[in-house]
Amino acid sequence: MFQKDIFKGQKVVVTGGGSGIGYTTAKHFLQYGAEVLIASRKEEKLIKAQTELQEFGVCEYQVCDIREVESVELLAEKVKSLWGSLDILINNAGGQFPSRAEDIKIKGWNAVINNNLNGTWYVSQILAKAFFIPQKSGNIINIIANVFRGFPGMAHTGAARAGVDNLTKSLAVEWSPYQIRVNAVAPGIIKSTGLEQYPDEILKGLSDQIPLKTLGSTEDVANLTTFLASPMAKFITGETVYLDGGQRLWGDVFKV
Ligand SMILES: CCCCC/C=C/C(=O)SCCNC(=O)CCNC(=O)[C@H](O)C(C)(C)COP(=O)(O)OP(=O)(O)OC[C@H]1O[C@@H](n2cnc3c(N)ncnc32)[C@H](O)[C@@H]1OP(=O)(O)O
Ligand SMILES: NC(=O)C1=CN([C@@H]2O[C@H](COP(=O)(O)OP(=O)(O)OC[C@H]3O[C@@H](n4cnc5c(N)ncnc54)[C@H](OP(=O)(O)O)[C@@H]3O)[C@@H](O)[C@H]2O)C=CC1
């Protein structure tokens, strides 16, 4: 899609980069010349991904739970010791579980809000203060979800992702004096490792609910994410781009 070295010399952090959308996004940045650090909770998964991704360029990893401030501070330390600077942050780590709203326990609600809203905030603020604000340059892409009509069947993640959608707009304005662009990508249903946790009865017939009659791919998400991070999108900030085959406008994500 781009010239081969469009991200040459750029340093990129991808949270949740050991699997699925994050892995493919990390691979795209490497193929376009960037150096990439993938971060998530499970070291074994990160080591496997790093071994594969090193075929495409310099890939580092750091064990990090985005819900733990100390863990995110260690991530910032790692970036500092490796590179001393950072150009692009992809806030991709996240997840949830399907449940009717009335069945979500307090602990489950808090787990999902912590993962998707608070975790994204900790990583954004800590890395912006460590790198983007003092550098007066930076680029943040938040991977959220299709919350255009709420998220029936996963109300907790709908609330958390809507929070990140709104945060994207606030930060785009507040951090514009530092030349930091902040955007979000809202994927619909993407064929990735993340879908494996959903039971067949939820997955069955899902593509019929999508106007384009197919699920998205991790490459679709990575293509949009790398575009938004590139100089080709230098006048785009505070935007959430839906990538859902039209599903936000028609059809069900979940039957209630
Ligand atoms: C139709 C498809 C639409 C698809 C659109 C979106 C797709 C995707 O996003 S795919 C990517 C998804 N990937 C994941 O979701 C994987 C990561 N998910 C998680 O790690 C969990 O969902 C998490 C957010 C809950 C992780 O938090 P953690 O603190 O590690 O979780 P615990 O296992 O300790 O659980 C805490 C608490 O949460 C409740 N809970 C967790 N799982 C479920 C479940 N499957 N069903 C119901 N409730 C659940 C529960 O209350 C847990 O506490 P306990 O009651 O003490 O177990
Ligand atoms: N696939 C889809 O249809 C859709 C996905 N999304 C979102 O896109 C993102 C990527 O999903 P996808 O690739 O499909 O699924 P995956 O489950 O493969 O990816 C989620 C990644 O996040 C990491 N992660 C989860 N919680 C934490 C945490 N607390 N700290 C650090 N890392 C964490 C996981 O790694 P580890 O286990 O090592 O921590 C994993 O690599 C997620 O935010 C997901 O919710 C949104 C809409 C649709």
- The predicted-structure confidence for 192-251, as pLDDT tens digits, reads as follows 999 988 888 888 889 999 999 999 999 999 999 999 999 999 999 999 999 999 999 998
CB 71 within 8 A of CB 114: no
Q: Is 95 in the pocket of ligand 1 (CB under 6 A)?
A: yes
Nearest to 226 by CA among 164, 146, 139, 136: 139
Any idea where the domains of the chain sit in the sequence?
11-249
Cα of 177 vs centre of ligand 2, distance in Å, is: 31
Please give the structure tokens belonging to residue 227. 């575009």
Q: How far apart are CA 187 and CA 144, in angstroms?
A: 7
- Residues contacting 188, CB < 8 A, separation 6+: 146, 210, 215, 216, 242, 243, 244, 245, 247, 248, 253
Nearest ligand to the CA atom of 14:
2
Instruction: Give the residue, by CA position, lying nearest to ligand 2 atom 24.
Output: 93
Q: How confident is the model at residue 255 (pLDDT cuts 50, 70, 90)?
A: low
Quote the percentage of the chain above a pLDDT of 90.
92
In the predicted model, what is the mean pLDDT of residues 106-123? 98
Mean pLDDT computed over 20-47: 98
**Using CA of residue 114, residue 72, residue 224, residue 20, what is the dihedral sign?**
negative
Spatial CA neighbour of 110 closest among 73, 67, 78, 79 = 67
Computed over every residue of the chain, the mean pLDDT equals 96
8 φ/ψ angles, rounded to the nearest 5 degrees: -55, 130
Give the Å distance between the CA of 234 and the centre of ligand 2. 27
Cβ–ligand 1 contact at 155 (below 6 Å)? no
Closest-lying ligand 2 atom to the alpha carbon of residue 71: 30
Q: For ligand 2, which residues put their CB under 6 angstroms from it?
A: 15-16, 18-22, 40-42, 45, 64-67, 92-95, 115, 119, 143, 145, 187, 189-190, 192-195
Write down the CATH superfamily of domain 11-249.
NAD(P)-binding Rossmann-like Domain (3.40.50.720)
Which helix (H) or strand (E) element contains residue 72?
A: helix 69-82
pLDDT at 202 (0 to 100): 85
Q: Is the pTM of this model over 0.90?
A: yes
Provide the pLDDT confidence category of residue 256 given band limits of 50, 70 and 90.
low
Kindly indicate the confidence band of residue 21, based on its pLDDT and cuts at 50, 70 and 90.
Answer: very high
Q: By alpha-carbon position, which residue is closest to atom 13 of ligand 2?
A: 20
Give the pLDDT mean for 10-27: 98
Task: Please answer whether residues 220 and 46 qualify as being in contact, where contact means their C-beta atoms are separated by less than 8 angstroms.
Answer: no
